[in-house]
Amino acid sequence: MTVTGQARVAGVIGWPIGHSRSPQLHGYWLDRYGIDGAYVPLPVAPERLEQAIRALPALGLAGVNVTVPHKEAVLPLMDEVEPLARRIGAVNTVVVGDDAGLWGRNTDAFGFMAALRAGAPTFDPATGPAVVLGAGGAARAVVAALIEAGAPVVRLVNRTVAKAERIAADLGGPVEPIDWERRGDALGDAALLVNATSLGMKGRPALEFDLDALPLEAVVNDIVYTPLETDLLAAARARGNPAVDGLGMLLHQARPAFEAFFGRDPEVTTALRDHVLAGD
């Protein structure tokens, strides 16, 4: 697709930015739908963040996605922040309004829930307790999504239990912080298990987790997507649990941003998954 002088332009800011899959993902959709637009990686050092954000309207950008390490730091720079992003405490999408105002959103919770629904279509989060491992940035979005979807309780297991307690306080709702050493006790009647730690990711330590106490119908979702088939997912599938990988969350979280920047809710398809995986 040729980019003309009328093209809408968006991008992703982070530091470093070379690892981001967002340009590949949005670029695929721009081609697929023949949209006159461009989506580019924007390396922004932390000390230049405010300058870069303030320049977005002047440059005529439609908006940017925000990745590590800027997701929390951009929040106070917004003119308006959607309530969910404020509860999560992080912004991953900045939309430039017609009035040049900056609107901060967080689409990770949407992406998590859309991917879970796509990967386990008959599962209803309201039917039973959810166990979430981890209390970092990603876990915040996962917990917010589960509360919104009506989970009766979210057992939030983390090595640093104080971080789980902070999420419980920030998000409100039925969140029960649990110490990492007691993680096995949380599984008994669980309907869902989510790994939102960085354990099991390429280059990180393994997630050592015994699934024996987990009911066989419980859905297991690992939001780590490198590797795509983590040891946790392999163990879950081997004992018969439905398993959902982490790539879906990455793809679905990009949908609301693409729609805000380029005016169309794009589809997450097998061809898109293959395209993104081929970029590994």
- Which residues contribute to the site for ligand NAP (CB under 6 A)? 108, 111, 134-139, 158-160, 163, 180, 196-199, 201, 205, 223-225, 246, 249-250, 253
CA distance 35 to 22: 16
> CB of 240: closest distance to ligand NAP in angstroms?
24
Rg, C-alpha atoms of the chain:
19
Q: How far is the CB of 16 from ligand NAP (least distance, A)?
A: 15
Task: Tell me the C-alpha distance between 170 and 140, whole Å.
Answer: 9
Tell the smallest beta-carbon distance from residue 59 to ligand NAP (Å). Answer: 27
Strand order in the sheet with 102-105: 37-43, 8-14, 63-66, 93-96, 102-105, 80-81
CB of 244 to ligand NAP, least distance (A): 10
Query: Which one, of 131, 220, 216, 208, lies nearest residue 176 by Cα?
Result: 131
Nearer to ligand NAP, 104 or 111 (CB): 111
Give catalytic residue positions. Answer: 71
Residue nearest to ligand NAP (CB): 136
Sequence-ordered list of residues with C-beta below 8 angstroms from that of 138, at least 6 positions apart, any chain: 108, 196, 223
Q: Which token pair is 108?
A: 């990770």
